[in-house]
Structure 1
């Protein structure tokens, strides 16, 4: 029996739609390990934040990578047992760890030699930690997404990382989660749970809007979905709302992948000639390299003024 042409077309369109949706993949990267929080400052508080973050990752089966700031693992110039235990928990949960420099210095304000020393400052710590699980540090994440404000500094960093067996960890979806978390901290420190809840709900919507914005950027540049890499931080708001962000991502057809899997997407081999002071998404770097200007960049989600004011303690 022959199927009507309209029915065949409908089935094909449904199949194609499901196939496109199934292609939506995202890697979750979490900077500033072990923790960055104005609320959770004691060893017990930092342990609670870490356990809450890892619980979200476990619940939604997310193979995240955390980028470690070396000085956060030290106390009075010696390794801090409590802080080391926190990052050990990430390894025990099956997560990967990467290098986020020792002192989280911006590359634009220091020399290439000083920056390279900062990269190596956490390298020894990571090698010791990862040896216990038969791994080595593979990925480097630039603090403030600064890759060099001169061609010489950029090329020096690229060469240095390559010779030390580090791959750069780009970001396709940038955002200001740190502003929301600062505001969330203020609300909780004031014991205003209603305000904190309002900030949290706005945050989840904001993150979804950021994903939509950079999806459109990628579709415009590559004429297809790409494997995205989302920047987040080990902060207070993510310890409470990261699971809600994951729910939104899953509802929109995303599956969670490792950084290694994401970097297999040919998009990440795109030419990047961007050299400037701004720390920006790699999608914007590629767009500027391709000559995109003005209107192409419009529409990036803004942090609500009220959230910014609260983050500043106003």
Structure 2
């Protein structure tokens, strides 16, 4: 989609002083992510999939994990990210934010000022014996609470001002319908979107943000509104309807079972499994969408995005990891190019660089 390409170029231009890799598919940026985020243009990112310092874990080998003396200092810091994330996300964008279980409730409340919280995902780690960390080694009799063997992922969408669902699409549809001079009942009749229980129809539900129309239904909405001659244009489906693409063959509940990344030379201490990242990206983006990770770490989010034919923006503050990410993505392009020459699909490429 041309609009994505223009957005990607605009981001590259805005961040050119700090870009360490600028290619057709990837932007790798070195710097403090909060400062970098403030330079990214409004409404230019389709998905934020990121893994900030957890604070509660206090791991010295993870940058920023020990920098806050008090919980409120950490929450104030994350609140600044939430404001920037809301600003740079497209109206139909999504957010996945990893966090520790002990901080998740407070982060949800904090994020709810800027976002509609859609799911609180529990990531379990069904690792094989010998690869399950302290779970297998620790003395269970010393526990004084349930052992934390999961992480949390807050899944959210940008919110509009108002109450309840605060849907960007709902507001957009209401504004366009009102400008066209159509009543909700008239638009319902013109689109055939009647409800099963009554004739209030789906239009009222869409405007309230309870759900969204299918591609076919949205096409009928556009035709009806544009036919009045009072509205000049309607946004393409991919620019206004938040994607959520899932079926029974994939992990569709809010409990995700993906094994942790096993130790290997050069592994990032907070590295997330490629399959889990691909799962999140595939469900919530369209092809060529732009995926942002503002705590780049190992660069795995960018790898997962590329394997699914998405563009990526990766921000990392530590120079050594920036270099590692650039090398990993450069190697990835060689592998993907070879696979395409062999008529394989990108999603079939099995790769974890440096593993």
Of structures 1 and 2, the one scoring higher in RCO (CA 8 A, sep 6+) is 1
Fold-level similarity (TM above 0.5): no
Q: TM-score, normalised by structure 1?
A: 0.34
Q: TM-score, normalised by structure 2?
A: 0.31
Larger helix proportion of the pair: 1
